[in-house]
Amino acid sequence: MKKEKKQIDKTLLTIILTLSVFGLIMISSASVLYSQTRFNDPNYFLSHQFLYGFLPGILVLYIFSRIDYHFWKKFAVPFFIISIIALILVFIPGIGKNIYGASRWINLGPISFQPSEMSKLAIILYLGAWLTGRGRERVKDIYEGMIPFLGILAVMSFLIIKQPDTGTLMVVILISIIMFFISGANLSHIWGIFIGGGVILAGLIAMAPYRLNRVLVFLNPSHDPQGVGYQITQALLAVGSGGVLGVGLGHSRQKFNYLPEPVGDSIFAIVGEELGMLGAVIVVMFFIFFALRGMKIAKNAPDDFGKIVAMGIVSWVILQAFVNISAILAIIPLTGIPLPFISYGGTSFVFLMVGMGILLNISKQSKI
């Protein structure tokens, strides 16, 4: 006989906290020279991640794990609207901040954050509420299911690709399709979305030279190693030089102004160099454990809203981890997307912890 759980899933919580603390350790190791060079402070990135990412992240994890997840069904629409407004604000002079040709940041006095990180959580909660409200039979219908779904996705996708942020766009679309599928969507509609999405992606690649260059580098990693292929070349050198056991924590050579963004998108390369194949495999295993535990929570959630939202949150973490790690290993073209829990970034960490808090609350109410 099934009974309601009264405590959060401690195994999942342990995985979350372990990856988060490991992230601080790797940021500390990878950022020493980078911090010194950019800010004349060897601990700049570590202190900022701890103060503006880790501490508030742990706080929101605790708070949101105690809030009944059903509350977010009521708040899903206004949160989605706020997210859309925030995505628009990045293009407003004086509010949005353009860095390296990309408009992805909002500056409001001392507060600076990336709306695209908020959008991942917003689309998960909104689709969870919307799909649950439609019911399985209406979701299967092309006019009441697929077309409105594509309309919702198109609004957010347009604003994200305008930034531009192809990596986040890919993750948001894949999360949405997974949620659409498990809510009872017609399989032929899913295939149609994938085919249409592939055509659009090909068009986006053809329209932007930098995206095309990334594909060319993916097809031939030695293509222009001092130019567009520089980052992936250095990342592969880092991973390769780590061998099985690594060169030792803190002893990376690639972090000394060779590997771009060693604390951000490229941090997994530093993991591979310092901790070797063994350390990299352990990190991947933690993400696999997270996926298995998260899917179990989704399966045992007490209602469809809990199941769909839980799967959306799990997909968010696993897809983003897969995209980041695969890009660093040249399995897919390079994309600028952080490794969950581990890469530097206060905005991404805090919103991720909000999602983790919601997932833990679902686990508390799941039936076993």
pLDDT at 217 (0 to 100): 66
**What's the mean pLDDT when you consider all of the chain?**
87
pLDDT at 228 (0 to 100): 65
| Lowest-confidence region among 109-118, 141-150, 210-219 | 210-219
pLDDT at 268 (0 to 100): 93
Q: What is the pLDDT of residues 62-87, one digit of tens each?
A: 999 999 999 999 999 999 999 999 88
Residue 316: is it exposed, middle or buried by C-beta count within 10 angstroms (0-12/13-18/19+)?
buried
Tokens of 231: 């980052």
pLDDT at 4 (0 to 100): 47
Give per-residue burial for 62-94: e unless 16+ CB within 10 Å, then b. eebbeeebeebbeebeebbeebbebbebbeeee
pLDDT at 210 (0 to 100): 65
Is the pLDDT at 224 greater than 70, yes or no?
Answer: no
pLDDT at 95 (0 to 100): 78
Spatial distance between the Cα atoms of 173 and 114, rounded to a whole number of angstroms: 18
Place of tokens 């353009």: 98
